[in-house]
Structure 1
Amino acid sequence: MSKEQALLALCRFGMGAAPGEAAVMASDPRGWVIAQLDAQSSVSAEISGFDSAARLLTRLAELKRERKDDKDAGKGELRRAFIAEAAARTRAAAASQAPFVERLVRFWSNHFTVSTKRAQIAPAVGAFEREAIRPHVTGRFLDMLRAVARHPVMLGYLDNAQSIGPNSVAGQKRSRGLNENLAREMLELHTLGVDGGYDQGDVESLARILTGWTVDPARGEFRFVARMHEPGRKHLLGRSFDGGEGEGEEALAMLSRHPSTARFIAVKLARHFAGDEPPASLVDALAGTFIQSDGDLKELSRVLALRGEPWAKPLAKIRSPDDLVVATLKALGDWERNEEGDRRLVQSLAILGQPPWGAASPAGWSDRAEAWIAPEALMLRLEWARAVSGRMARRVGGTAAVADQVIMAGPRTRQAMTDAKGADSLFLLLASREFQRR
């Protein structure tokens, strides 16, 4: 193996390279990737200690009640907590000893997007990632799908908490009725994909199946309310379901094992790890593994590391803003670890166009280059790189030597950095084609 392969592993499968890191694992980059899947899972100290979604949602409800009497009650409390967690998440990715797992967390969190755009769940979106995504990234897809579908943040984000069967006890007494948002996104975005072979009738049936899956307002936790659940037989993708909480569980299991789900997930993984136009050979291998392993995500990740396609084209992927900020932390070291530093870190992501957990729609952030390299976006990247360079130049000695350890620098980049000095040299590193890609 070579340093180039080590840097590819660090940037494509991991979250970027720190000085000296490539040399340590250059003898076996694939082994370095795979070992992370088999290591004992642990939660970084950076992201431990934050409140649960249940606690955050009940606190939000408390503050709404308190503000009826005092409009300034708890002002900024949940916002400060959010910034602290978003910054901690970014630092955890940079410091992690299992950066491949951190990348998988981000991939699956984006696949099952929830967003701060919905104010009623915004304080708890980080908790959703910690509770529904992180524990399952090397487990089974069905377990993650189930954790997502039952999580109070997802139920609030896609309005299933208010979905009531029209013929249920509650539906016959109240004007509100069926909400199809969760069912539609579960079919289109979470499992089968838009071309996965379902129709509007399936959306309506799944919505009826999931009625009664709601949130206990007093505890901020999932609960099934039978009086909200649509009674009677439903038909989803040609299969009949006969009622109760159990039919939702059965529907999730069926969707998780559908061939269209295997293909949809395979395409997204291949795109993320091998290029915007994913190789058909890799898609086929991933889809086959998904089916044969019953959605074993560790096995899917192992295939990604062992197949040749993700290693074939260095710098094939544009770094998203999140990737870029984390890679910069790894390459240059952290900036202020205080409240102002947290704010600056989170603000960096927002300036670059990817505020933490802030996607505009349930489709999440795009994984294609065109989403991140429009002229205005490129200008923002350059302005941000200039600001970081000015702030960090004195802390980074021998910029050219650092560049040689964190990117596959081509001759033009090497020469430009050699000719420049101080902050200008560091800016050329961060702005280089090699640093902007992975």
Structure 2
Amino acid sequence: MQSSPKADAVLVLNRFGLGPRPGSIVGIASDPRGALLAELERAPAMLAAAAALPSTATAFRAVNEANARRQAKTIAAKKAREEAKRQQVAAGATMVADSGQADTEADAKAAAEAVPDPGRQFYLQEAKVRTEAALTAEIGFAERLVWFWSNHFCISADKIQSMSGGYEREAIRPYALGRFVDLLLAAEGHPAMLFYLDNNVSMGANSIAGINRTRGLNENFAREIMELHTLGVRSGYGQDDVIAFANVLTGWTLLPPADNPEHGGEFSFNPRLHEPGAQTVLGKSYAEEGVEQGRAVLRDLAAHPATATHVAGKLARDFIADQPPQELVDDMARVFRDTAGDLKEVAKAMVASPAAWTLPPTKLKRPSEWVVGMVRAAGITEVDALRFTQGQRILGEALWRPPSPRGYADDEASWIDGLGRRLDVANVFAERIAGQVDPQFVTETVLQSCVSSDVMEAIAHAESRQQALVLLFMSADLQRR
């Protein structure tokens, strides 16, 4: 690749950040690498608006309370209807109509209107703050790392909407540039993760609850930690390790809000659910120490060489190329091992790699990266959260709603078929902003003319501002990094 300070600035903003915004290329052109490394020294900060957002436990309790009130109203309405029918019969009515299911549905609809679900509003508030943090970031490297780890340790708003945004704020953001073991412990010990991967219903066969309730072990949590969050597939663990680890993790749950209105939704270790006795995971025996038994296994998984390789490969694939150079992955894995999983140092090793600067910008941006980059290029810093999340859903990458615990894919094959949907979104966005955003200003001032000559010519000959903006937004200059 041809290199110059301005070209390196564009590369930094696209490959490591969230795309150029007004003044960003000029702002870092004197020392693009230095600006990138400097951003790592600043914690990935949220906007001040985040301070007003509720904790995940608070949000969870609010939704539970609303659900209980809604159910109570539905039941009360049904009882009132039945009582009215009895009174009609007692008054001598020969026939009383009974619409059955229709009455029940009407009662439920009326209850929902009287007591709306606050979970949706919590989700949109979190989405707005998170998106505007990305739009206002100087480069966006720290934000991209938060996004990466949030997808790596993903949960789904389809299962627990009220906690989805708060989980990222509480369990991911504070640790994204710290030590992997701390991030691992925070993510796996968060109530949202325990709920998402069903550990709240897992109990040891020989635990008090397991014996009394004749319910058993759920392996989901342990399996995903090993396969997706730490070691990776084909890394030496077997089914016996999964079962043993699942037993270790029994008792990791969250307090039910119905029983605890002050602390419901918070993490809790319940010894009545915990499988008694030592467990052997990956050849090492862990004595029964309650919650510390699980934390000890997690610490060892964080330090395992396979975890270093798995994490390094996934980071390099997400930021650099679908098939990153093995030398780059090896270097990052070595830094991970040598620094006891210092994620900031691993990120610096990625930045220091020659491959990070010499490989051509051929990697297709994920929909979330592309749409934020498009909005940044237009100079917009505030969003309508409902409209933005609907756009994300149309693009196939609904915010905090991955299709499985694997998270969203990070390779071109998974997203290339969605370019048609991107065109639709680009058209709608360009139509909305064409009156205020000049495409020539975007290409010449925001992007500093760092787009292909073909794109510049196409924009110059476009029939309208809207068409020119669409051509720019759909160009490889904004689609790839």
* TM-score range relative to shorter protein: over 0.9
| TM, length-normalised to structure 2 | 0.87
1:114 aligns with 2:149: no
Give me the identity figure in percent: 41
Partner of 1:270: 316
Map Cα deviations across residues 194-244 of structure 1 (whole Å, 9 max, x no partner). 121111111101000001111111221111111111011211000001112
1:346 to 386, 389, 395: 389
The reply to whether residue 24 of structure 1 matches residue 27 of structure 2 is yes
Q: Residue 196 in 1 paired to residue 242 in 2? A: no
Superposition deviation, residue 316 in structure 1 = 2.4
Question: How big is the shift at 1:19?
Answer: 2.6
Q: Is the 8 A contact 1:47 1:92 kept in 2?
A: no
Decide which of 310, 324, 332 is 1:286's aligned counterpart. 332
**SS state of the match for residue 396, structure 1?**
coil
- Map 1:31-430 → 2, pairs under 5 A: 31-39=34-42, 42-70=45-73, 71-72=111-112, 73-97=114-138, 99-118=140-159, 121-217=160-256, 218=260, 219=263, 220-243=265-288, 244-334=290-380, 337=383, 341-374=384-417, 377-397=418-438, 399-404=439-444, 405-406=446-447, 408-420=450-462, 421-430=464-473
| Structure 1: 5+ residue stretches without partners | none
TM-score of the two chains, using structure 1 as the length reference: 0.95
**2:63/2:117 contact within 8 Å kept:** no
Cα pair distance change 1:46/1:310, threshold 3 Å: farther
C-alpha distance in 2, partners of 1:415/1:259? 51
CA distance in 1, matches of 2:49, 2:18: 16
- Which amino acid in the other structure matches residue 361 of structure 2? L
Q: Distance in 2 between matches of 1:42 and 1:367?
A: 24
Which amino acid letter does the alignment assign opposite residue 403 of structure 1?
Answer: T
What are the Cα deviations for residues 346-395 of structure 1, in whole angstroms up to 9, with x where unaligned?
11111111111010100000000111111xx1111111111111111111
2:360 and 2:354 map into 1 onto residues whose CA distance is 12
Work out the CA distance in 2 between the residues paired with 1:47 and 1:321: 24
| Distance 1:335-1:284 versus aligned 2 partners, 3 A rule | closer
Give the Cα–Cα distance (whole angstroms) in 2 for the partners of residues 333 and 144 of structure 1: 33
Deviation digits for residues 248-286 of structure 1 (CA, Å, limit 9, x no counterpart): 111001000001000000100110121000110100001
Q: What's the offset of the Cα at 1:36? A: 1.0
Could you tell me whether the CA contact under 8 Å between 1:409 and 1:434 is conserved in 2? yes
In structure 2, what is the Cα distance between the partners aligned to 1:210 and 1:429? 51
- How far residue 140 of structure 1 moved from its aligned partner, in angstroms, is 0.5
What SS does structure 1 have at the residue aligned with 2:362?
coil
Q: Which moved more, 1:381-390 or 1:260-269?
A: 381-390
Shift of residue 41 of structure 1?
5.4
CA drift of 1:34 comes to 0.5
Q: Whose radius of gyration is greater, 1 or 2?
A: 2
Q: Which amino acid aligns with 1:43?
A: M
Deviations 1:298-333 (A, max 9, x none): 101111122111222242221111111211121113
Change (3 A) 1:100 1:325: same
Is residue 170–residue 228 contact of structure 1 (8 Å, CA) maintained in 2?
A: yes
Cα deviation digits, residues 98-132 of structure 1 (max 9, x gap): 611100000000000101121xx221110000000
Counterpart CA distance in 2 for 1:427 and 1:76 is 37
Q: 2-side partners of 1:426 and 1:98: how far apart? A: 22
| Equivalent position SS for 1:67 | helix
In structure 2, the residue matched to 1:432 is 475
Per-residue CA shift, 1:57-97, capped at 9, x if unaligned?
A: 11122122112122325314321221122122112101124
For 2:440 and 2:363, the matched residues in 1 are separated by 23
Check the 8 A contact 1:46/1:89 in 2, yes or no.
no
Structure 2 counterpart of 1:229, one-letter code: H
> Which residues of structure 2 form unaligned runs of 5+?
74-110
- Deviation of 1:336 (Å): 6.6
Task: Give 1:46 shift.
Answer: 4.3
Cα displacement (A) at 1:44: 1.9
CA RMSD of aligned residues (A): 1.5
| Paired residues of 2:279 and 2:285 also in contact (CA < 8 A) | yes
> Structure 1 residues 50 and 369 mapped into 2: Cα distance closer, same or farther (>3 Å)?
same
Aligned residues: 430
Change in Cα spacing, 1:161 to 1:261, as seen in structure 2 (3 Å) is same
| Alpha-carbon contact 1:110-1:365 (below 8 Å) kept | yes
